[in-house]
A and B are shown apart, each in its own frame.
Chain A
Amino acid sequence: MALSGLFEIGKSALIASQTALAVTSNNIANVNTPGYSKESVTLAIASPFSTSAGPVGSGVSASNITRSYDSFTEAQLLNEQQNQSKSASLDQTWGQVEQVLNESQGIGLSSPLSDFFNAWNDVATSPDSPAARTTLLQKANTLVQTASTIQSSIVDTVNNANTTIRSDVSQINSLATDIASLNQQIVKEEAGSSGTQANDLLDQRDAKLTALAKLVDFTSYQDQNGSLTVVVGERNLVSGVQTNPMSTGSDTNGNTTVILDNTDITSKIQGGDIGGLIQSGNDIQTKTLAGLNLLLATVVQEVNSLHTQGYGLDGSTGNNFFTPLTVPTVNNSATATITQPQVTGLAALTSNEYTINFNAAGTTYSVSDQTGALVVPPTAYTSGNPITFNGLSFTITGAVTNTDSFTIGSPLPTAISSFGVAITDPNKVAAASTAAGVPGDNGTASQIAQLTNATISTLGNDTFSGYYSGVVSTVGSIKQSTADGLTFDNNLLSQIQARRDSASGVSLDEEATNLINFQRSYEAGAKVITVADELVQTVISLIGGSVTG
């Protein structure tokens, strides 16, 4: 082996150490970078050359730079991130609803509802007192305002959920574009090389996937060429360098829907922020708003049915105390219209919308709901006779044929938004139950005051306050379970994150050791070159000596 070989060996040590120092420095620099996986250099012996004494190594080379990566933990992390984000959004949304009905702090309908019936008690005690009547109207208006504030706060929460879904979708699209672009770079970087990985790009892509997991649940798989396919709701979001833009729509109830690849995938989304928002939006409407609407619709019906029987100080009778429930109707007929739509039985009401059709002769009618399901099969119809089904009743005036159709909706969804006090004149408060002009009669007022203790069949034989506390209890229980779920998911996520950090995170102590280690090996490599240089100097001086000597 020539002396110059020592230079090569020393040089290889310098280059390998330099690479290792670069990797170590990069690790140190990324100690706080989310999603970064610690990298390490694999050192390999350079090919030996033969000597008479046998093969001698020719130095070292940095054969590979690998990242510490546990694919199982990473997959678990993505999965748990989807669960945790869903729990967090459920917990946040229900937290907002709970705050509106936080009876523990006296916020909600309980007190205005009690005050309203208490005011009726005051009227029952002093039916001729103008003050008691005025107070009653004030308390009724407070009940209306509180109900309306509660409803609008809850509706705002649902609307915010819908808005957040739309903003999430735009983030998803941006992430999908980034993932597709990274796919392209990774494929390019890894093409043709054997075993070389585009570590930093892979980390970047993993970070994008983690961000995506916070928004929506998905599955992903990697092709042989390193490209990743991301599937959301059984549709491809990213496939190689291609992305399918996700978009949003709106369903008949005004809720935001998620569309991917021209398909409504809303019902298939079960995780991430969007998963939580979709679920809470639906649950808030069916479990909270519907309950509150039914409660106040019942208050309106029960109070009005007694109040219309009573007599005011001014002798008037038949007055509604609250604005009666409005039954929305639509006429699609040139000759006939729906008249006198009214609620005959609250208990039988649903929130469905019904369409009424007739045969050509106008002698039979049938009713179907918005899904097309038949609610009333063809039934004989006599022109002008009232049609009654599912708690609704109305009359159609005019001749009908099979080209006509009529739509009648439920008053329940608008019960709170149309909730109002119908009378403004305290003298019209019908406290009396006998004939007009008896200011001291408290018959009707007393009956309405006693409603507070009455069990109402529409409310499942519960009292107003009992039913309301059921609504609050449902919200409280759901919030309790979302809070428990969130705590569980937070803990699980931290554990998996700790495992991920354990496998892939940067330890500064470790890197400090490596730094010294590779610094020393660099210094040693340099020493080899110094020694080789000195040897060469020695040889040169020998040559110089023979020439002069």
Chain B
Amino acid sequence: MRITTSTILAQIQSGIQNFQTNYSELTTQLSTGKKILAPSEDVAGTMRAMAYQVSINANNQYNNNITGATTNLNLTSDALTGVSSMLSTLTNLISNTSGTDPVITASSSQQAAQVRDELYNYANSKNGSGYIFSGFQTNKQPYIIQNQAPGVVPSTNYAYQGDNGALNVPMGTGATMQANVAGNDAFSLSPNALPTTPITLGNGDTAQYAAVTDPATGATTTTVTITPSGGGAADTFSFSNAMDIANIISSAIGSNNTSRIEAMSEPLSKMRDQVNALQAEVGSRINALTDQTNQLNQNTTTLQNDLSTIQDADTSTIALQLTQTNTALQALYSTSAKILPQSLFDFLK
């Protein structure tokens, strides 16, 4: 083949161009830490990396959701622990208040009233600005005190303003977890908790419980009818929640109404059971969320490793390639510098 001046020039130019392109690509890989600089360099790799990234993002978001849900459930659990403890205090008060000493009964009645107020505080617990026990109505105080009709003892009762809304938070693909407990579930006695047949109290009176659930609020109101053994007018009163129970007990202790105190022992005991069961359930939800977080984190770690394998540059290999390219480029420069200025003209004198 006949070699001409422009052939040599073109070859050197394209050689330098190729090396410099290589050099620039390697430098960019080194500075960005990524080996795929554009989708076209590895279409399949980019697609996999995108899918992994989407999954990692989703996992991170589910973790955020779980953090929010866990905070809510932890606050709920704390409140329920307090409620359970208050209900135990109330139980102890009943069993320890058997005398007729007015000083003791007054003190016990006052303690029961304090329990009632504590329960009221727990029922109206907040997470930030929202109430945790009002279902979806997080801007409404779940329980308020209202006056009863004149002549009814006690003169006030507690009414639920929330609803049964369940805040189901996404914690995985297609999986949700209820992050709240509605006030009814925590503070209102379940309609089937109490016996439907009359129970006989220690003094021979009978107590009958009748539960009615309000379809609008979901709150269950239990009416207690105490029929005296010796005949006479029956004592009828009702309660809807733990605060009502404490309130009635407080007033019954104050007035030494043993029938009422005894009639309320059963609802109190069932209320405690219900709160304890609920506390266990909330605990298991928190555990499930923790498990899910662990699983998500493990999944994310795997995905991140795979992602790194696909897209991260191997610094040592690139550094080596850079050196190789540089050496070759220097060699080309050096030979070009010798070849280019040379022609027969240099030797003609």
Q: Does A477 contact B (CB under 8 A)?
A: yes
- With A104-B39, A104-B41, A442-B167 known as contacts, the answer to whether A125 contacts B69 (CB < 8 A) is yes
Please report the C-alpha to C-alpha distance between residue A446 and residue B68 in the assembled complex, in whole angstroms: 14
Give a binary string over B34-52; 1 marks a CB under 8 Å from any A CB, 0 the rest. 1011111101001101110
Residues of B within 8 A of A347 (CB): none
Please report the C-alpha to C-alpha distance between residue A453 and residue B3 in the assembled complex, in whole angstroms: 64
Q: State whether B65 touches A121 (Cβ < 8 A).
A: yes
- With A121-B64, A442-B169, A472-B50 known as contacts, the answer to whether A98 contacts B10 (CB < 8 A) is no
Contact residue among B37, B139, B168 (Cβ-Cβ distance under 8 Å from A104): B37
Give a binary string over A463-505; 1 marks a CB under 8 Å from any B CB, 0 the rest. 0011001001101111110010000000000100110011101
Complex: chain B residue closest to A519, CB-CB: B348
Q: State whether B1 touches A473 (Cβ < 8 A).
A: no
Residues of B within 8 A of A117 (CB): 61
Q: State whether A508 touches B39 (Cβ < 8 A).
A: no
Q: State whether B40 touches A479 (Cβ < 8 A).
A: yes
Binds A, one of B77-85, B111-119, B129-137, B219-227: B129-137
User: From residue 228 to 253 of chain B, which have CB atoms closer than 8 A to chain A?
Assistant: none
Give a binary string over A109-144; 1 marks a CB under 8 Å from any B CB, 0 the rest. 011001001100110111111000000000000000
Q: State whether A469 touches B344 (Cβ < 8 A).
A: no
Q: Does A99 contact B (CB under 8 A)?
A: yes
Please report the C-alpha to C-alpha distance between residue A101 and residue B40 in the assembled complex, in whole angstroms: 11
Please report the C-alpha to C-alpha distance between residue A478 and residue B43 in the assembled complex, in whole angstroms: 10
Please report the C-alpha to C-alpha distance between residue A31 and residue B9 in the assembled complex, in whole angstroms: 11
Q: State whether B65 touches A104 (Cβ < 8 A).
A: no
Contact residue among A103, A118, A434, A497 (Cβ-Cβ distance under 8 Å from B136): A434
Q: Does B308 contact A (CB under 8 A)?
A: no
Complex: chain A residue closest to B1, CB-CB: A502
Please report the C-alpha to C-alpha distance between residue A104 and residue B43 in the assembled complex, in whole angstroms: 10
Residues of B within 8 A of A507 (CB): 2-5
Please report the C-alpha to C-alpha distance between residue A102 and residue B348 in the assembled complex, in whole angstroms: 58
User: From residue 21 to 72 of chain B, which have CB atoms closer than 8 A to chain A?
Assistant: 32, 34, 36-41, 43, 46-47, 49-51, 53-54, 57-58, 60-62, 64-65, 68-69
Please report the C-alpha to C-alpha distance between residue A34 and residue B43 in the assembled complex, in whole angstroms: 39
Please report the C-alpha to C-alpha distance between residue A498 and residue B53 in the assembled complex, in whole angstroms: 48
Residues of A within 8 A of B4 (CB): 38, 501-502, 505-507
Complex: chain A residue closest to B173, CB-CB: A453
- With A110-B50, A118-B57, A450-B174 known as contacts, the answer to whether A505 contacts B6 (CB < 8 A) is yes
B218 to chain A, nearest CB (A): 13
Please report the C-alpha to C-alpha distance between residue A445 and residue B137 in the assembled complex, in whole angstroms: 16
Q: Does A223 contact B (CB under 8 A)?
A: no
Q: State whether B5 touches A128 (Cβ < 8 A).
A: no
Q: State whether B46 touches A477 (Cβ < 8 A).
A: no
Complex: chain B residue closest to A117, CB-CB: B61
Q: State whether B6 touches A476 (Cβ < 8 A).
A: no
- With A110-B54, A480-B40 known as contacts, the answer to whether A121 contacts B7 (CB < 8 A) is no
Please report the C-alpha to C-alpha distance between residue A432 and residue B60 in the assembled complex, in whole angstroms: 24
A171 to chain B, nearest CB (A): 24
A497 to chain B, nearest CB (A): 7
Please report the C-alpha to C-alpha distance between residue A506 and residue B4 in the assembled complex, in whole angstroms: 6
Residues of A within 8 A of B61 (CB): 114, 117-118, 121-122
Q: Does A441 contact B (CB under 8 A)?
A: yes
- With A450-B174, A480-B43 known as contacts, the answer to whether A438 contacts B163 (CB < 8 A) is yes
Q: How many residues of A contact B (CB 8 A)?
A: 62
Complex: chain A residue closest to B48, CB-CB: A469
Q: Does A105 contact B (CB under 8 A)?
A: yes
Complex: chain B residue closest to A516, CB-CB: B348
- With A125-B65, A126-B68 known as contacts, the answer to whether A509 contacts B344 (CB < 8 A) is yes
Please report the C-alpha to C-alpha distance between residue A434 and residue B7 in the assembled complex, in whole angstroms: 79
Complex: chain B residue closest to A468, CB-CB: B50
Residues of B within 8 A of A387 (CB): none
Q: State whether A124 touches B5 (Cβ < 8 A).
A: no
Q: Does A32 contact B (CB under 8 A)?
A: yes
Q: Does B138 contact A (CB under 8 A)?
A: yes
Residues of A within 8 A of B58 (CB): 114, 118, 452-453
Complex: chain A residue closest to B310, CB-CB: A104
Contact residue among A102, A434, A494, A516 (Cβ-Cβ distance under 8 Å from B14): A494
Residues of A within 8 A of B343 (CB): 508-509, 512
B192 to chain A, nearest CB (A): 26
Residues of A within 8 A of B134 (CB): 440
Please report the C-alpha to C-alpha distance between residue A102 and residue B40 in the assembled complex, in whole angstroms: 9
Please report the C-alpha to C-alpha distance between residue A102 and residue B46 in the assembled complex, in whole angstroms: 9
Q: State whether A508 touches B50 (Cβ < 8 A).
A: no
Q: State whether A127 touches B137 (Cβ < 8 A).
A: no
Complex: chain A residue closest to B69, CB-CB: A125
Q: Does B154 contact A (CB under 8 A)?
A: no
Q: State whether B136 touches A513 (Cβ < 8 A).
A: no
Q: State whether B69 touches A440 (Cβ < 8 A).
A: no
Residues of B within 8 A of A277 (CB): none
Contact residue among B6, B34, B36, B170 (Cβ-Cβ distance under 8 Å from A124): B170
Beyond A121-B65, A125-B169, 11 additional contacts (C-beta under 8 Å) are A101-B39, A102-B38, A104-B38, A453-B173, A453-B174, A476-B39, A480-B40, A497-B10, A501-B6, A502-B7, A512-B344
B binding-site residues for A, Cβ under 8 Å: 1-7, 9-11, 14, 32, 34, 36-41, 43, 46-47, 49-51, 53-54, 57-58, 60-62, 64-65, 68-69, 128-130, 134-139, 163, 165, 167-170, 173-174, 176, 179-180, 311, 343-345, 348
List 9 tightest A-B contacts by C-beta distance, closest first: A476-B39, A505-B4, A479-B40, A512-B344, A440-B138, A438-B136, A440-B136, A125-B68, A441-B136
14 pairs from A and B in contact (CB 8 Å cutoff): A98-B38, A104-B49, A104-B311, A105-B34, A114-B57, A122-B68, A124-B65, A469-B47, A477-B43, A498-B7, A502-B7, A509-B344, A512-B348, A516-B348
A binding-site residues for B, Cβ under 8 Å: 31-32, 38, 98-99, 101-105, 110-111, 114, 117-118, 121-122, 124-129, 432, 434, 437-442, 446, 449-450, 452-453, 465-466, 469, 472-473, 475-480, 483, 494, 497-498, 501-503, 505-509, 512-513, 516
